[in-house]
Amino acid sequence: MTISSSLNAGVAGLNANATRLATIADNIANSATFGYKRAQADFHSQVIGGGSGAGVYSAGGVRVTTQRLIDERGPLISTSNPTDIAVNGRGMLPVTTRVSLDSNTGNYPMMLMTTGSFRPDADGVLMTETGMVLMGWPANVDGSMPSYPRDTVAGLEPVRVNVNQFAGDPTTRMTLAVNLPATETQAGAAGVQQDLSIEYFGNLGTSETLSVNFTPTVPGSGASNTWTMTITDSASGGATVGQYTLVFDSSQTNGGTLASVTTISGGAYNAATGSVTLTLGGGPLELTIGTINDPGGMTQLSDSFAPVTIEKNGSPVGNLTTVEIDPNGFVNAVYDIGFTRTIYQIPLVDVPNPNGLISLNNQAYQISPESGAFFLWDAGDGPTGEVLGFTREESATDVAAELTQLIQTQRAYSSNAKVIQTVDEMLQETTNIKR
């Protein structure tokens, strides 16, 4: 019994070390595989037989378990591709397969990766060479992000980038600060109207003109310090979209700044923000002229007419040239005229036990009962790290450590083989007793 248990223990040792050798071989073979997670074999003793002092001992041998250390991260390296993505910290990228994309059922099974080199295919879908498709939440047309559920994949879609796509960036905000000549509102002045034309961009990317005319009020005596601001819009057929009476302060403290704004027509003046909302041919536009007594807004000083500040958003139609991913996971489309727009957000998937995920081919993983339920976080929020573009994660294999374990495994395997050989010799001696 004791001798045969020794034989069984030796065989168990051979099997256990063979399994450990397989994990080492896998680790070394994937030492240059981006995103590879190291496999590890752990030995556990088995006890068979009576208690202490029984006088007989049976060798229980050893059993082995293996796991993939998915929570270990490899070093990050820089690349030249903006859609080479890696996660700097906890969390994983949601992906699906090309096969599910081709099925056209709208059901995309979610898998996870910590890094990937994603490039657009013929349809603009970002995927790796192995067919792993990047998933994200689509943004609204204006680049804002709607609210999506965090515990389901229902809102996730394949990230699609249509290179060479045209897009417009309409003007929705404008800041206007003009100095009006104080001499034009004094008695006896000629009352010359001051004109200003400002280009803006409509919803269809067309160039439109906002004409702003300032007409002074000339009193019979003294100074009125009053102007009528009339705004017309080319997209509205030249119609007046706003008319306001501007009265300027003449005191020593706030001389030359706005004292009051009275709405004649158009959107009401908001004294808190110093803005009016104009309804143009292509939609609303917020025009900021400054708050009361704001020296940085509309002024009436000296005898010169001068536009001090004209700021606006928007741009003409542009051609999409590339996409970039910021640390918060927002996929930004970059156009050749200089503006950018958010088109997707890549959430990061987190589970309570990453090492419990099911390992798949191509450094992909799948949710399992052992991993726990997933949650979709904004990158950089909660327990998750950042999403880095132009970056790949290298293999988590430490070749030097693996080679050291390879030597130990070889010696342990040889020793267990020696135990089997010794048991064989002892059994042979037992057989020889009968001779």
Q: What is the pLDDT of residue 206?
A: 83
User: Residue ranges of the domains in the chain?
Assistant: 2-72+396-432, 76-168+318-393, 171-313
Nearest to 275 by CA among 180, 197, 174, 203: 174
Query: Which residues are within 8 A (CB) of 189 and not within 5 positions of it... i.e. 6 or more apart?
Result: 183, 216, 218
What was the pLDDT predicted at 170?
Answer: 86
* Rounded distance between C-alpha atoms, residue 408 and residue 402, angstroms: 10
Is residue 216 classed exposed, middle or buried when 0-12, 13-18 and 19+ CB atoms within 10 A define those classes? buried
The beta-strand segments (E) located in 84-185 are 84-88, 93-97, 111-113, 115-117, 119-120, 126-127, 132-138, 157-158, 166-169, 173-180
pTM: 0.71
Q: Report DSSP state, residue 257.
A: B
Q: Could you give the C-alpha distances from 292 to 10, 177, 258, 357, in angstroms and in order?
A: 92, 13, 5, 62
Query: What are the tens digits of pLDDT across the range 201-247?
Result: 888 778 899 999 999 999 999 999 999 999 999 999 999 999 999 99
Topology at the third CATH level for domain 171-313: Tick-borne Encephalitis virus Glycoprotein; domain 1 (2.60.98)
Tokens of 205: 């990317």
Look at the alpha carbons of 45, 50, 55, 60 in this order and tell me if their dihedral is positive or negative. Answer: negative
For residues 88 and 325, what is the distance between their CA atoms, to the nearest angstrom? Answer: 13
pLDDT on residue 164? 57
What is the β-pairing status of strands 315-325 and 330-335?
Answer: antiparallel
Main-chain dihedrals φ then ψ at residue 338, nearest 5 degrees: 110, -10
pLDDT at 215: 96
Residue spans of beta strands (DSSP E) within 32-143: 39-45, 62-68, 76-78, 84-88, 93-97, 111-113, 115-117, 119-120, 126-127, 132-138
- pLDDT one digit per residue (tens) for the chain, 435 residues: 578 788 888 899 999 999 999 999 999 999 999 999 999 999 998 888 656 666 677 888 899 999 999 999 999 999 999 999 999 999 999 999 998 887 766 678 999 999 999 999 988 899 999 999 999 999 988 788 999 999 999 899 999 987 656 667 789 999 999 999 999 999 999 999 999 999 998 887 788 999 999 999 999 999 999 999 999 999 999 999 999 999 999 999 999 999 999 999 999 999 999 999 999 987 899 999 999 999 999 999 999 999 999 999 887 777 778 889 999 999 998 887 777 889 999 999 999 999 999 999 999 999 999 999 999 999 989 899 999 999 999 999 999 999 999 999 999 999 999 998 888 888 888 888 876
